[in-house]
Structure 1
Amino acid sequence: MLMGEGAMAREGARSKDSAKPGIKEVAAVAGVSPTTVSRVLNNRGYISQETRDKVHAAMERINYTPNDIARAMLNGRLNLIGMIVPFVSSPFHAQVVQAVERTLAENGFKMLLCNSANRPDLERSYIDMLRRNMVDGVIVNSLNIGAEAYAEMGLSLVGIDCDLGEGSVQIASDSYGIGELATRRLIDDGCRRILCLRSNSRMRMPANKRTDAYLDVAEQAGLSALVREVEFVKPDDEKGAVVAKILDENPDIDGIFAGDDTMAAICLNVMKQRGLSAPDDIKVVGADGARRTMTFMPDLTTVRQDIDRIGELAAQSIIALVNGEKPESNTKLPVELIEGKTA
């Protein structure tokens, strides 16, 4: 009987698949049972290091690659974690992602990264995609939609700077402390007209407490508040135009709490274009203290978060949840003022 091209292609694919080595072949080369190979692959039960080395050497020798989908069908998981961030180009989020990925890899997990660009439609589509891709849990650093959308996934959840509801874990820095340290630093330096820049106030994020702290400290000092919103996800030139307009409309500004270090850099650039300098004309304090930022702006006065620790704890927490454990549900990390030359 003759086969059409499609049938021949399918038959060829089956022949090629059947030629791939499997667990039995690995076991034969390693001199162990298929059950032992399976336990090594799935990290189940006690296996001596010598046996593990034999199995891995056999896998390499016959070019055996474990089938993730088959493994998921066997033990109910892929060891795959989804992560949603608002904009991965941000120095803060980039460093968090690196710490998460490193910690996951050290524990045998992989990461599927999603960049939501602070768009609710993208965030919803990523939720659907992560569900379809059988992830074991999700780390969220972007909450532009209701937490119930994540709860409906029925997966282990960790929120970085966001509360995803009952059963989830939240990892955050002391956001109120960030705003308090930055504002007090400017007031102690003699500033009386302090601009506070914040991102979208509609986003339900603990980071909003930075502004709350600014308002409280300004009121305690008898100062009138000046809070303006800048969409941090916008291109830098658009954010710069907003800052320029604010400075032009408020020439008495003598201090800026920039919200984060990227905005601090934009403020300093706009000031330079207007012949203004920090700290002589306007004092500027940022927030985050990401490595990439401090490499290029070592003189920036900022409030530093322990970004690596945030990522490590987020990864450790999602792994614990996936494994049926109960990690600390709400962790708040301390922050510190880094003295620079811009305030």
Structure 2
Amino acid sequence: MANIKDVAKLANVSVATVSRVINNKGYVNEHTKELVMQAIKELNYVPNEIARSLYRKSSKIIGIIIPDLKNEFFNDMISGVEEVILQHGYKTMLCTSRESLEREKEYLQIFSTHKIDGLILCSNSPDIASYTNLDIPIVALDRIISKDIPSITSDNYMGGILAANRLMVANCVNIVQFRGPKTLSPANERSNGFLHTLHQHSNLNVHTVELEFTPESITDIHNFLQAHPEIDGIFAASDIIAANCIRCLKKLGRDVPQNIKIIGYDNTSICEFMDPTLSTIAQPIVSMGEIAAETLFKLINNEPIEQMHISLPVRLIERESTK
């Protein structure tokens, strides 16, 4: 396979001249440019993106770190991010951390090697300095990681309030929230909004169960619901957790929504396929990704951004599980 040195040798020019032609940077007279283009054609040379980046100091690659690709929430979010990235003529380097700090460190090394132009980050790493040391624009997505790094989130606190109010309207008095891990800031914000609203009413009995977003959590859900048959209202940290609650309740012989009301979170496609269909708090998932990418390109182009931290509104989508 031909390389840039082969092209330079055939065209009888320097490697720097070939780079200027390839990247359209700097002056090269038309005759020399034609020689280089002819050599590229004869050798069927395809410029290596990393090699080109060393010359122009731009890889045209945007790095993305998300926790999990199995979660539809992140799939929808990335579709918004990638659409904007492609529109700007860039490519993506997508990495999944599984919430592992060690994996993130490995990706940092890869990003440094490939000289990415920017990073969209969905991380809980306390070591923010490792990212800022890359010396590239960074935008946080779905969570705030630093007051100095722009972020795009949704109003998780309001999401908790909406869920609490709907369960109270449905006359639920023995309520449990199956919340996400305390290491996740969105989970904390949802829980805070939910509990603050319910704790203003002394007649309510409120339980909290912290869960990891893993398949094993269904066992914890089943055990709690079996031990607390009085529960008549559930707020789940995700639509997947809510779906697992419905599965457990069916095994326990409890009817949704006749005996118990359930609200999920995210408004993913599973909501429409559940029986009963699932009420949920809808986040503008795709828009979050799009705005994050647009914000990143403003930073790359040294354009001002209007807000450091953008929080998009959420809304309650009511379906059969709360009616």
TM range (shorter): 0.7 to 0.9
What is the TM-score of this pair, normalised by structure 1? 0.79
Counterpart in the other structure of 2:237: 259
Distance 1:295 1:78, change over 3 A: farther
**Counterparts of 2:178 and 2:122 in 1: how far apart (Å)?**
20
* Superposition deviation, residue 70 in structure 1: 3.4
Say which SS state the counterpart of residue 124 (structure 1) adopts. helix
Q: Counterpart of 2:144 in structure 1: which amino acid? A: D
Counterpart in the other structure of 1:141: 122
1:274 to 2:252 alignment: yes
Q: Pairwise mapping of residues 15-164 of structure 1 onto structure 2 (< 5 A)?
A: 16-17=2-3, 38-39=23-24, 65-164=46-145
Q: Counterpart of 1:99 in structure 2: which amino acid? A: G
Task: Decide which moves more: 277-286 or 138-147.
Answer: 138-147
Q: Deviations over 1:166-185 (max 9, x none)?
A: 54210000001111111110
* Superposition deviation, residue 19 in structure 1: 9.5
Asked if structure 2 preserves the Cα contact closer than 8 Å seen for 1:140 and 1:158, the reply is yes
Distance 1:106 1:300, change over 3 A: same
Q: Counterpart of 1:155 in structure 2: which amino acid? A: I
Q: Deviations over 1:55-93 (max 9, x none)?
A: xxxx99996644312331232111111111111111111
Task: Decide which moves more: 119-128 or 104-113.
Answer: 119-128
**Counterparts of 2:286 and 2:243 in 1: how far apart (Å)?**
22
1:334 to 2:313 alignment: yes
Counterpart in the other structure of 1:172: 153
* Superposition deviation, residue 278 in structure 1: 1.1
Counterpart in the other structure of 1:249: 227
**Counterparts of 1:127 and 1:38 in 2: how far apart (Å)?**
26
Counterpart in the other structure of 1:199: 180
Q: Return 5+ residue gaps in structure 2 as ranges.
A: 12-18, 27-39
Counterpart in the other structure of 2:270: 293
1:316 to 2:294 alignment: yes
Task: Decide which moves more: 273-282 or 67-76.
Answer: 67-76
Task: Decide which moves more: 301-310 or 76-85.
Answer: 76-85
* Superposition deviation, residue 248 in structure 1: 1.8
1:221 to 2:195 alignment: no
**Counterparts of 1:148 and 1:217 in 2: how far apart (Å)?**
36
**Counterparts of 1:331 and 1:263 in 2: how far apart (Å)?**
27
Counterpart in the other structure of 1:7: none
* Superposition deviation, residue 149 in structure 1: 3.1
Say which SS state the counterpart of residue 205 (structure 2) adopts. coil
Asked if structure 1 preserves the Cα contact closer than 8 Å seen for 2:281 and 2:317, the reply is yes
Distance 1:123 1:224, change over 3 A: farther
Q: Counterpart of 1:76 in structure 2: which amino acid? A: K
Among 175, 179, 190, the alignment partner of 1:210 is 190
Say which SS state the counterpart of residue 227 (structure 1) adopts. strand
Say which SS state the counterpart of residue 126 (structure 2) adopts. coil
**Counterparts of 1:252 and 1:149 in 2: how far apart (Å)?**
48
* Superposition deviation, residue 288 in structure 1: 0.6
Cα RMSD of the aligned pairs, angstroms, is 2.9
Asked if structure 2 preserves the Cα contact closer than 8 Å seen for 1:100 and 1:312, the reply is yes
**Counterparts of 2:211 and 2:289 in 1: how far apart (Å)?**
26
Distance 1:67 1:124, change over 3 A: closer
Distance 1:75 1:337, change over 3 A: same
**Counterparts of 2:137 and 2:226 in 1: how far apart (Å)?**
48
Asked if structure 2 preserves the Cα contact closer than 8 Å seen for 1:86 and 1:117, the reply is yes
Distance 1:77 1:261, change over 3 A: same
Q: Counterpart of 1:341 in structure 2: which amino acid? A: E
Distance 1:21 1:132, change over 3 A: closer
Asked if structure 1 preserves the Cα contact closer than 8 Å seen for 2:84 and 2:293, the reply is yes
What is the TM-score of this pair, normalised by structure 2? 0.84
**Counterparts of 1:177 and 1:132 in 2: how far apart (Å)?**
41
Identity, % of aligned pairs? 30
Asked if structure 2 preserves the Cα contact closer than 8 Å seen for 1:151 and 1:164, the reply is no
Q: How many residues align?
A: 301
Q: Counterpart of 1:212 in structure 2: which amino acid? A: N
